A and B are shown apart, each in its own frame.
Chain A
Amino acid sequence: MVLPIYVVIALIFPILYGANILQKPPNINDYTSSALGELVSFTVLLVALLAGDSISQDFGRQGFFTLTQPVRRSEIMLARTFAAFIFSAVAMLAWIGMGLATGFAFYGAVVANWALILAISILFVGSAVSFVVLFSSLFKSPSISVVICVLVVWIVMPIITGVLDLVGIEPWFLLTYAGDVITYLTAASYPVHFISTPISEGSITITVNSYAPYVWEGALIMVAYFAASLTFAWLIYSRKELRDAS
């Protein structure tokens, strides 16, 4: 059920452009940027729905049927993480594939960085799945872990980014910030790392800051999220007891 909805969302912009309801962007870069504009947000949502209960489900009554089997907890966790990764990666690559294919159909070209976009996207999915699995290990209730995941990546992280932009601090520790690399790679020229724009109205001047992660920086944040999240999730999962499950 989740995958068809995800595909429909991915097709909204190409369909609107194809049907001339929206005016097509002037070039392939702007078009691809538009087609992939919501990719990171919706992929994180997809991952949260798929993997948000991957660990928490074992600390309810169902856990007595999983954790009493002669299978190591590490094997269970890795199998579930890998399954969520494969499913999410296929969905995300399908979205990107549709963006690139429809771009080619409209403009006869694809963006120069398409291979790097695919590679970074796979890395992003891996880090997002690991991060969500970590959240799943913190909560007993599957529904609470899914909701908290969605709140964190859809509301808390963007708010933190906005606040830090205002005060001029780079949000280098946020996964969603790292994910912006994917959209920036669609541009004809990659945005500069930091822009500070003073805006004056009457006697009031405010400075609007904007950060764009370097590609290597985004990749590094994703790798760090992947490694740290899986490590902490494993430490929690391997030690947690089924205390209140019945």
Chain B
Amino acid sequence: MNAAMHNGDAVSALTNFVFPNDFHVHWSLMIVLYPYITGIVAGAFIVSSLYHVFGIKALRPISRFSLIFALAFLCCATWPLLLHLGHPERSFSMFLTPNPQSAMAGFGFIYTAYLILLVHEILFIYRPTMVRLWHKSSGFRRHFYSFLAFFNDNLSPQALRLDNRIIGFLAGLGIPMACVLHGYVGFIFGGVKANPLWATPLMPVIFLLSACVSGIAGIILVYVLIMKLKGRHVDMDCIRTSLKFLWGFFILDFVFEMLEVFSHAYMATHHWHVLENLYWGPLYTTFWFLQVKIFSIIPFFLLGILCLFKLKDQIVLFFAPIVSLMILIQVLLMRWNVVIGGQLMSNSTRGQVSFVPEWHGREGIIAAIIVMTAPWIILFVLSRIFPLWLEDQPTEKKASEA
């Protein structure tokens, strides 16, 4: 029965039987990107909350940037879904006539609520900045900045105190919402009982932790790259603190990912025999070799060394973006292995299929590249409106920053 279990070869062995409808991978690249993007959003938000709510002062240099970064990705979070839907023109039905029993029906509401919260938090944090830009500019820009400052140029200490209270409230509320946003995405998979790879209560937890990991890694990578490109000084305290958080979250993430496989293997129910053939079959390269060996174990030790040893700034600055990029790839691989991997085994429990994404088409590789490029363009546009770095804020008093 297990002719197809070793190292991905002989997928179409004699005993393998795949249900005729299971030859189609209905959730392809776009559904890989969807949790990837929402994960980056949730993770980036957590970085900002570490400063705004938990008072990790070292993260101040990236506290604003991480929110704008989250917003840039959040703007594109629905794109892969719309590209995936057979009838995107009917997507509003999820708002108008949702099925309350469906795990998927809540996404529109959670997404919208989170978008509203994130935008408001950004606007309140940037209000003093917007007011100064409003006063400096003229014409259309003047109207635009006044709109972004809620048409209120009161920067008195009292007004700023109120702003800060609102920011604290929104950031505090944002943490459970970011967790809900991404834990929920994990539940969309974790709630599918027909699929033994997905159906585990650990799935939301793993999704949430990998979200934090990808968000922090994304922030570190882009922060260092932008600063290097601009020839500016990188705040080493900020980088070292971020790396510590990255390592901490990654330890949890990786442990839970492995725990999931290990406990399945140890209990060895009939589900495991299906999963075994999957992990050592079509998923061998992308899971064991790439996700675990290359992009988990190496960054795990790299991060450990970066965090535990007192290394020179130059070395940390060299390795921080590399390890962050590796973590970003690890999370993308994890999304792939979960989303695609879950569909590579048939409900017949007797066979697997292989999958190679197409280049063209709505869910092809080119479309995926476009979707992943868009947040960077949006980030660039947003950075023209909202100065990403504290040193770029229009002068006058600086004490008022949140």
Partners in one complex: no
**Chain A residues with a Cβ under 8 A of chain B:** none
Interface residues, chain B, CB within 8 Å of chain A? none
